[in-house]
């Protein structure tokens, strides 16, 4: 689907939303090795009024200087991706289910997340992104869920403290793809939605700026479910308010 015009009009600048790209070894047109962002996620940001900007996940001189790299950026979207190395939270790094671990990706994600949580950068964390937030705040993950939530669509209820998500409903139908989940909740994180099996599906995070995490993928169903777009619209609006 082509991106729509979103919320910007009359020449006003769209809030610029940064995402760290995800490394891939299977992009044949890029000689298999590439740095990518989900097209559906980028289009959702655009449709919600934002202007998505993909950044290179890197280490070394200047790579983790986020005060410089995020100059002109209004919000950060911590996107989904492969597994975070379980070494970062004391998990079993040799478990056969762990996949697509990349040390550079992990270092960049963890560093960027810590910066956002401390600096007052509006942040939306999706799937892996929420896992990274939890680990940065001292929490742990289930390395491999007893029953995976891959290709899973389910209904979850939002509690009374879920208003920061911007979803205008007491329940939401969510599209999930993950085999890991929050185990021990990190400091300053409040659960506002859970699945029937107890999986944490949404959190609100204590931070200087608006910070929310969802376990599901709003980009999967936003074209048919306005509640997913409401989440992104709230994030973009919070980003605009902080600039």
Q: State the catalytic residue, choosing from 88, 116, 127, 149.
A: 127
Query: Kindly report the CA angle at 217 between 200 and 182, in degrees rounded to 5?
Result: 25
**Residue 217 a catalytic site member:** yes
Alpha helix locations (H) across the chain? 39-47, 66-69, 103-119, 128-136, 226-242
Catalytic annotation, pick one of 178, 201, 217, 238: 217
Asked about 176 being catalytic, the answer comes back as no
| Cα–Cα dist 117/110, whole Å | 11
In angstroms, rounded to a whole number, what is the distance separating the alpha carbons of residues 66 and 47?
26
Q: Which of the following is catalytic: 43, 149, 201, 219?
A: 219
- From residue 217, alpha-carbon distances to 6, 108, 151, 176 in Å are 19, 21, 11, 6
Question: Per the structure block, which two tokens stand in for 155?
Answer: 């209904």
Of 3, 181, 228, the C-alpha closest to 83 is: 181
Hey, which residues are catalytic here? 127, 217, 219
């Amino acid at each position: 689907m082509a991106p729509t015009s979103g919320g910007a009009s009359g020449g006003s600048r769209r809030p610029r939303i940064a995402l760290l790209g995800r490394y891939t070894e299977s992009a044949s047109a890029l000689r298999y090795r590439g740095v990518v962002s989900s097209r559906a996620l980028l289009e959702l940001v655009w449709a919600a009024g934002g202007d998505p900007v993909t950044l290179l996940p890197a280490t070394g001189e200047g790579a983790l200087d986020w005060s410089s790299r995020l100059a002109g950026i209004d919000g950060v979207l911590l996107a989904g991706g492969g597994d975070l190395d379980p070494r970062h939270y004391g998990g079993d790094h040799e478990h056969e289910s762990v996949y697509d671990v990349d040390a550079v990706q992990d270092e960049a994600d963890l560093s960027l997340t810590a910066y956002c949580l401390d600096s007052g950068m509006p942040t939306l964390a999706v799937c892996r992104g929420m896992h990274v937030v939890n680990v940065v705040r001292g929490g742990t993950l289930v390395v491999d869920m007893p029953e995976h939530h891959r290709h899973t669509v389910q209904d979850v209820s939002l509690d009374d403290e879920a208003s920061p998500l911007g979803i205008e409903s007491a329940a939401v139908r969510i599209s999930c793809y993950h085999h890991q989940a929050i185990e021990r909740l990190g400091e300053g994180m409040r659960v506002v939605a859970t699945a029937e099996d107890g999986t944490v599906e949404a959190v609100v995070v204590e931070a200087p700026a608006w910070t929310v995490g969802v376990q599901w993928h709003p980009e999967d169903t936003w074209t048919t479910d306005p509640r997913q777009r409401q989440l992104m619209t709230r994030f973009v609006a919070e980003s605009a308010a902080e600039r």
